[in-house]
A = this chain, B = another copy of it.
Amino acid sequence: MSTSPYCVSVPLRWSDMDAYGHVNNVQFLRLLEDARVTGFREWFGGDAGDRSLLDEGVLVARHEIEYIAPLTFRHAPIAVEMWVTKMGGAGFDIGYDVRDPEDVGDGHYARAETSLVLYDFAQSRPRRIHPDEKAILEGLRGEQVPFRWRGR
Protein backbone atom coordinates (compact mmCIF):
# COMPACT_ATOMS: atom_id res chain seq x y z
CA MET A 1 0.00 0.00 0.00
CA SER A 2 1.50 3.29 -1.02
CA THR A 3 -0.93 5.47 0.90
CA SER A 4 -1.00 6.02 4.66
CA PRO A 5 -3.81 4.27 6.52
CA TYR A 6 -6.76 6.34 7.64
CA CYS A 7 -6.33 7.52 11.24
CA VAL A 8 -9.07 8.22 13.79
CA SER A 9 -8.43 9.92 17.13
CA VAL A 10 -10.32 8.09 19.91
CA PRO A 11 -10.62 9.56 23.44
CA LEU A 12 -10.08 7.19 26.36
CA ARG A 13 -12.24 7.16 29.46
CA TRP A 14 -10.83 6.70 32.95
CA SER A 15 -13.32 3.85 33.33
CA ASP A 16 -11.70 1.95 30.45
CA MET A 17 -9.16 0.80 33.03
CA ASP A 18 -9.79 -2.38 35.00
CA ALA A 19 -8.63 -3.45 38.47
CA TYR A 20 -5.13 -4.06 37.08
CA GLY A 21 -4.90 -0.33 36.24
CA HIS A 22 -4.71 -0.98 32.47
CA VAL A 23 -7.19 -0.32 29.70
CA ASN A 24 -9.15 -3.57 29.83
CA ASN A 25 -8.73 -5.97 26.92
CA VAL A 26 -12.48 -5.91 26.19
CA GLN A 27 -12.51 -2.11 26.15
CA PHE A 28 -10.05 -2.17 23.25
CA LEU A 29 -12.90 -3.57 21.15
CA ARG A 30 -15.03 -0.67 22.38
CA LEU A 31 -12.36 1.76 21.18
CA LEU A 32 -12.42 0.06 17.78
CA GLU A 33 -16.21 0.48 17.69
CA ASP A 34 -15.74 4.20 18.36
CA ALA A 35 -13.16 4.34 15.58
CA ARG A 36 -15.53 2.67 13.11
CA VAL A 37 -18.41 5.00 14.01
CA THR A 38 -16.19 8.04 13.41
CA GLY A 39 -14.40 6.59 10.40
CA PHE A 40 -17.52 5.42 8.57
CA ARG A 41 -19.10 8.81 9.00
CA GLU A 42 -16.08 10.47 7.45
CA TRP A 43 -15.66 7.89 4.68
CA PHE A 44 -19.30 7.78 3.62
CA GLY A 45 -20.12 11.40 4.12
CA GLY A 46 -21.92 13.17 6.90
CA ASP A 47 -25.34 12.24 8.15
CA ALA A 48 -26.49 10.60 4.94
CA GLY A 49 -23.50 8.27 4.92
CA ASP A 50 -23.96 7.64 8.58
CA ARG A 51 -27.44 6.50 7.86
CA SER A 52 -26.51 4.39 4.89
CA LEU A 53 -23.79 2.37 6.65
CA LEU A 54 -24.69 2.40 10.32
CA ASP A 55 -28.44 2.52 10.37
CA GLU A 56 -29.27 0.52 7.26
CA GLY A 57 -26.38 -0.66 8.24
CA VAL A 58 -23.58 -3.09 9.17
CA LEU A 59 -23.32 -6.13 11.43
CA VAL A 60 -20.11 -7.35 13.05
CA ALA A 61 -19.48 -10.95 12.01
CA ARG A 62 -16.02 -11.49 13.50
CA HIS A 63 -13.25 -9.83 15.53
CA GLU A 64 -9.62 -10.82 15.95
CA ILE A 65 -7.28 -8.83 18.18
CA GLU A 66 -3.72 -9.19 19.44
CA TYR A 67 -2.51 -7.17 22.41
CA ILE A 68 1.04 -5.86 22.07
CA ALA A 69 1.64 -3.57 25.06
CA PRO A 70 -0.40 -2.46 28.09
CA LEU A 71 -2.15 0.90 27.80
CA THR A 72 -2.86 3.16 30.78
CA PHE A 73 -5.47 5.92 30.80
CA ARG A 74 -4.16 9.31 29.80
CA HIS A 75 -5.81 12.52 28.64
CA ALA A 76 -4.45 12.35 25.09
CA PRO A 77 -6.63 10.28 22.74
CA ILE A 78 -5.17 7.20 21.11
CA ALA A 79 -4.79 6.90 17.34
CA VAL A 80 -6.62 4.08 15.57
CA GLU A 81 -5.34 3.46 12.07
CA MET A 82 -7.95 1.75 9.89
CA TRP A 83 -7.83 0.26 6.41
CA VAL A 84 -9.70 -2.26 4.29
CA THR A 85 -8.16 -5.76 4.22
CA LYS A 86 -10.80 -7.62 2.20
CA MET A 87 -13.75 -6.76 -0.04
CA GLY A 88 -16.73 -9.01 -0.73
CA GLY A 89 -20.09 -8.58 -2.40
CA ALA A 90 -21.97 -8.25 0.89
CA GLY A 91 -19.29 -7.22 3.34
CA PHE A 92 -15.72 -6.15 3.98
CA ASP A 93 -12.95 -6.51 6.54
CA ILE A 94 -11.23 -3.68 8.42
CA GLY A 95 -7.68 -3.87 9.78
CA TYR A 96 -6.58 -1.69 12.71
CA ASP A 97 -3.49 -0.56 14.56
CA VAL A 98 -3.95 1.09 17.96
CA ARG A 99 -1.06 3.48 18.51
CA ASP A 100 0.09 6.65 20.22
CA PRO A 101 -0.59 9.75 18.15
CA GLU A 102 2.61 10.94 16.46
CA ASP A 103 3.05 13.91 18.79
CA VAL A 104 2.65 11.77 21.93
CA GLY A 105 4.93 8.78 21.43
CA ASP A 106 5.56 5.66 19.41
CA GLY A 107 3.61 3.13 21.48
CA HIS A 108 1.87 0.32 19.57
CA TYR A 109 -0.81 -1.30 21.74
CA ALA A 110 -2.83 -3.66 19.56
CA ARG A 111 -3.54 -4.90 16.05
CA ALA A 112 -6.96 -6.15 15.08
CA GLU A 113 -9.38 -7.04 12.31
CA THR A 114 -13.18 -6.94 12.06
CA SER A 115 -15.37 -8.62 9.45
CA LEU A 116 -18.50 -6.67 8.65
CA VAL A 117 -21.65 -7.75 6.83
CA LEU A 118 -23.87 -5.17 5.17
CA TYR A 119 -27.40 -5.42 6.46
CA ASP A 120 -30.71 -3.92 5.52
CA PHE A 121 -32.42 -3.41 8.87
CA ALA A 122 -35.66 -2.24 7.24
CA GLN A 123 -35.96 -5.57 5.41
CA SER A 124 -34.06 -7.62 8.01
CA ARG A 125 -31.68 -9.20 5.55
CA PRO A 126 -28.10 -8.91 4.27
CA ARG A 127 -27.68 -6.63 1.29
CA ARG A 128 -25.25 -6.18 -1.60
CA ILE A 129 -22.63 -3.48 -1.44
CA HIS A 130 -23.48 -0.31 -3.43
CA PRO A 131 -21.07 0.64 -6.24
CA ASP A 132 -20.35 4.00 -4.59
CA GLU A 133 -19.61 2.31 -1.27
CA LYS A 134 -17.31 -0.11 -3.05
CA ALA A 135 -15.41 2.70 -4.74
CA ILE A 136 -14.82 4.43 -1.42
CA LEU A 137 -13.64 1.22 0.24
CA GLU A 138 -11.32 0.34 -2.67
CA GLY A 139 -9.51 3.62 -2.01
CA LEU A 140 -8.84 2.45 1.54
CA ARG A 141 -7.32 -0.93 0.71
CA GLY A 142 -4.22 -1.95 2.63
CA GLU A 143 -2.06 -4.88 3.66
CA GLN A 144 -3.18 -7.93 5.58
CA VAL A 145 -2.92 -7.55 9.36
CA PRO A 146 0.38 -9.23 10.39
CA PHE A 147 -1.05 -11.30 13.28
CA ARG A 148 1.79 -13.11 15.03
CA TRP A 149 -0.43 -15.98 16.18
CA ARG A 150 -1.34 -16.99 12.65
CA GLY A 151 2.28 -17.96 12.03
CA ARG A 152 2.39 -20.39 14.92
Stretch of A26-34, A95-103, A125-133, A134-142 at the chain-chain interface: A26-34
Interface members, chain A 5-23 (any B CB < 8 Å):
11, 13-15, 17-21
The proximity string for A residues 33-72 relative to B, scoring 1 for CB distances below 8 Å and 0 otherwise, is: 1100110010000000000000000011111111100000
Q: How many residues of A contact B (CB 8 A)?
A: 34
* Contacts A17-B18, A19-B21, A65-B62; A75 near B41 (Cβ below 8 A): yes
Name the contact of A62 in the complex, choosing from B29, B33, B149 (C-beta under 8 A): B149
Chain B's nearest CB lies how many Å from the CB of A25? 4
**16 other A-B residue contacts (CB within 8 Å) besides A14-B37, A25-B60, A62-B64:** A13-B34, A15-B18, A15-B24, A15-B30, A15-B33, A18-B19, A19-B19, A19-B73, A25-B63, A26-B30, A38-B75, A60-B67, A62-B67, A62-B149, A64-B65, A115-B149
18 contacts between A and B (CB under 8 A): A11-B11, A14-B19, A14-B33, A15-B18, A15-B24, A17-B19, A18-B19, A19-B21, A19-B73, A20-B121, A26-B30, A26-B33, A29-B29, A59-B67, A62-B66, A63-B63, A64-B64, A115-B149
- Which A residues form the contact surface with B (CB < 8 A)? 11, 13-15, 17-21, 24-26, 29-30, 33-34, 37-38, 41, 59-67, 73, 75, 115, 121, 147, 149
